[in-house]
Structure 1
C-alpha cells in the first residue's frame, strides 16, 4: 500500500533516562504488545461521521434533501498509513512520599487517512498521495505504564488531532492472546439522546433513501454497502477472508475508563466545546474515545524474484501478491541473494482496529466510527525467516 505518511524522527540514540547527574540508569521496561508497532503500516478501511450542518454555511449534498437539517452523514472508504518511530527509552515518572518512582516505555507514531471512495479498487494507490483527499491526521505516543499503588499496568494512547482535540486513552486490562483469527463485535453508529440515552436513527443511515443529507451522494458511493453502515466491523471481517491467521492479540483503550479517578480524557478547543454562559452550543464536542486493536500473526506466500545484491546495503522491496482487488497485503525488504525465482512462506504482523469517537452536538451524542486493516510496508526480511523454501 503506497500511501504516504509522515514520521516523527528522533535524534540518533535519543532516550529519556535519568538526568546526567543521577547515578542510576534505569533499564527500559518492555513494550510488551506495543513491540509489534514497528516501522510503517498501510492499508484500507472505512469511516463514518455525522457532521454538524450549519444554516449559514450549509453542506451541498448534491440533492434537495427532505430530512432533518442539523447533520450530514459522511461515509469514506479509506487508505491509511501509520508510522511508528523508535522507542523513547526509559521514561521516569517520580513518585511522592510512599509512592515509588515508575519507569514508562513507549514510542511516537503518526497516522494519515485519505478518502479513496471514488478510486477504482483495481487501481494502485498513488505513491505520493496526489489526487487523494486527506481526511485525518494524528500524531501522538503509545506508552506502556507499569503498575503503581492502586492502579493496574496500562496501555496509553496520547494523541493530538488538528480539528482541536487531544486525547489520553488508557487500557487497564491486559492484552489477550487467542489462537486463530480475531472475532469482532458489532458497532452501531445510531445517535442517542444526551438525556436518557434513547437511540435516534436517521434516514441517512439507509442507503436506499436518496433525498437525504449524506456524502457522498447517491451514484458516487463506490463499494460502500448497507452492511457496512449497519456494522462497520464487517469491513474487518471481510479483510481477513482467505488469510491464514495463526493467532491474534487484542487490547482496548478508552478516554473514559471505569472510575473517575483513573485519569485520561479528551480536551477540545473552544469552538468545539461551546459556551453555556453565552448560550453557545457545542460544535462537535469530542466527548470520549474508545478503540480496540487486534494484532494478528499471518502466514502467506511470497514470490521472490532472482536477485543478486551488489553490496551490503543493496536490497529490493518485494510485495505479497494480493488474492483479490484491494486486499491489504504486506511488502518486504530483502538484502539476501536469491539465485533463482522461488516461492516461500513468511509470517507478518497485521494491525486491525475499531474506534468510536462520540461527538456531542444538538441534543444528541453521535458515534463516529473508524475501522482499518494495516500491513507492514517494506518490512525487513531475513533469509532465516523463510519457510518451506521451493
Structure 2
C-alpha cells in the first residue's frame, strides 16, 4: 500500500470528470466489446463437449521407451471478455490498443473421470502495426501445470460459408529438424513396424467417442473424430483461426525437466467456431479445435494431438 493514500484513486476520483473523460480502461458497452473482438467475438461463453487425445509419453526403462496414451475426453471451456481496452505504449510508433478474452480450459478422461489438463490463458486481437510492419493478428497465450507457457500467433483467420475444412493430421513420429505444417506429412517418418506397434495395434477407449471409428486409422489421423462428430449437421458458417508458436514472436518456454525429458518445441492449432442449424429451425454455436504439440525425446519428434467438439451453453 503506498504511503500517499491520496494518490490511490477511489470511488470519488473515478466519478470525477477526468476519469469519465478518459475512460481509464473501464468496461465498454457489450456491443463495443463484441465489435472490438473481431473474429473472437463468438468465442465468449461457457462451452461443454467431448474429444480425443493422443499422447506419446516417455516410459522410463521400457523398450521401446514410450507409451502411447489414448484418451476419450470430456471438456469444459469458460471464456470471458476483457471489457476494457488494453493499451500498448509505442516508442517507435503511436500507441496501439489490444482487446481480448480470458479463458479456463479443463479436460478429464471420459472413462476414469481423472483430470488430464488444465489451462488458463488469454486470446488477444492485435491491430495492424507500422513498427514492426504487420497486419492485424490474433494471439493465444497459455500456461499449463507441467511447467510450460506458450505464445502462438495466427497464421490465418477468416470467416467462410458452410462447413469447416478439416484436413488430415498425421500422428506418426518422425526424425530430423524439419517440422511439417499441422496438416502436412512428416519428411522423415519413423517406419520401424515393431517400434510403432502401439500405433498399429492400439485400442480406442470403450466410451466417449463416436461409434464406428476404425482404431488404426483414427490413431494415425485423429481428425476422424472431429469429422464423425459433425456428420449429418448443417453448418451455416465457420470462423477459422490457425495458430502456431513458430509464427513470428511465438514460442514455448519449459522448465528444465521438461526440456531434458520431453521437450515441447512447437504448437500448431486450428480453432473453428461454427454456427449450426438446429433441428427446431433455430441455430446453436459449436466450437471445434485441433492442436498438435511436438515433443522431443529419444532422438525422435512425437506429435501429441488433442481435439474436441464443444457446444455453447
Corresponding residue number in structure 2 for 1:353: 289
Give the TM-score, by structure 2 length. 0.80
- 1:152–1:172: 8 Å Cα contact kept in structure 2? no
- 2:155–2:244: 8 Å Cα contact kept in structure 1? no
- 1:359–1:365: 8 Å Cα contact kept in structure 2? yes
Please give the alpha-carbon distance, in whole angstroms, between the structure 2 residues aligned to 1:181 and 1:143. Answer: 25
Cα offsets for 1:156-178 (capped at 9, x unmatched): 100000001001010143x2222
- 1:111–1:138: 8 Å Cα contact kept in structure 2? yes
Please give the alpha-carbon distance, in whole angstroms, between the structure 2 residues aligned to 1:219 and 1:293. Answer: 24
Corresponding residue number in structure 2 for 1:264: 250
Please give the alpha-carbon distance, in whole angstroms, between the structure 2 residues aligned to 1:289 and 1:76. Answer: 19
- 1:254–1:291: 8 Å Cα contact kept in structure 2? yes
- Aligned match for 1:290, one of 268, 283, 286: 268
- 2:70–2:204: 8 Å Cα contact kept in structure 1? no
* Residues 1:159 and 2:145 are matched in the alignment: no
- 2:152–2:246: 8 Å Cα contact kept in structure 1? yes
- Aligned match for 1:243, one of 216, 233, 242: 233
Give the TM-score, by structure 1 length. 0.65
Q: Over the residues paired in the alignment, what is the CA RMSD in angstroms?
A: 2.2
Corresponding residue number in structure 1 for 2:163: 181
Please give the alpha-carbon distance, in whole angstroms, between the structure 2 residues aligned to 1:231 and 1:96. Answer: 47
Q: Structure 2 matches for 1:194-213, cutoff 5 A?
A: 194-195=176-177, 198-201=188-191, 202-207=196-201
Corresponding residue number in structure 2 for 1:309: none
Please give the alpha-carbon distance, in whole angstroms, between the structure 1 residues aligned to 2:251 and 2:263. Answer: 13
- 2:55–2:305: 8 Å Cα contact kept in structure 1? yes
Q: In structure 2, do the counterparts of structure 1 residues 229 and 172 end up closer, same or farther at CA, with 3 Å as the change threshold?
A: closer
Corresponding residue number in structure 2 for 1:107: 101
Name the one with the larger strand percent.
2
Please give the alpha-carbon distance, in whole angstroms, between the structure 2 residues aligned to 1:107 and 1:363. Answer: 38
* Residues 1:76 and 2:54 are matched in the alignment: no
Corresponding residue number in structure 1 for 2:51: 45
* Residues 1:255 and 2:245 are matched in the alignment: yes
- 1:93–1:103: 8 Å Cα contact kept in structure 2? yes
Name the one with the larger helix percent.
2
- 1:297–1:350: 8 Å Cα contact kept in structure 2? yes
**Residue ranges of structure 2 left out of the alignment (5+ in a row):** 1-17, 179-186
Pairwise CA distance, 1:52:
0.7
- Aligned match for 1:146, one of 118, 127, 142: 127
Please give the alpha-carbon distance, in whole angstroms, between the structure 2 residues aligned to 1:147 and 1:220. Answer: 45
- 1:92–1:104: 8 Å Cα contact kept in structure 2? yes
Cα offsets for 1:329-383 (capped at 9, x unmatched): xxxxxxxxxxxxxxx4321111101000001111011100011101012xxxxxx
Radius of gyration: which is bigger? Answer: 1
Q: In structure 2, do the counterparts of structure 1 residues 36 and 204 end up closer, same or farther at CA, with 3 Å as the change threshold?
A: same
Cα offsets for 1:222-255 (capped at 9, x unmatched): 5562221121111111111121211212111110
Please give the alpha-carbon distance, in whole angstroms, between the structure 2 residues aligned to 1:247 and 1:141. Answer: 24
Please give the alpha-carbon distance, in whole angstroms, between the structure 2 residues aligned to 1:220 and 1:293. Answer: 24
SS in 2 for 1:247: strand
Pairwise CA distance, 1:194:
3.3
- 1:153–1:172: 8 Å Cα contact kept in structure 2? no
Please give the alpha-carbon distance, in whole angstroms, between the structure 2 residues aligned to 1:241 and 1:195. Answer: 37
Cα offsets for 1:127-174 (capped at 9, x unmatched): xxxx6111111000011010101111111100000001001010143x
Please give the alpha-carbon distance, in whole angstroms, between the structure 1 residues aligned to 2:48 and 2:204. Answer: 28
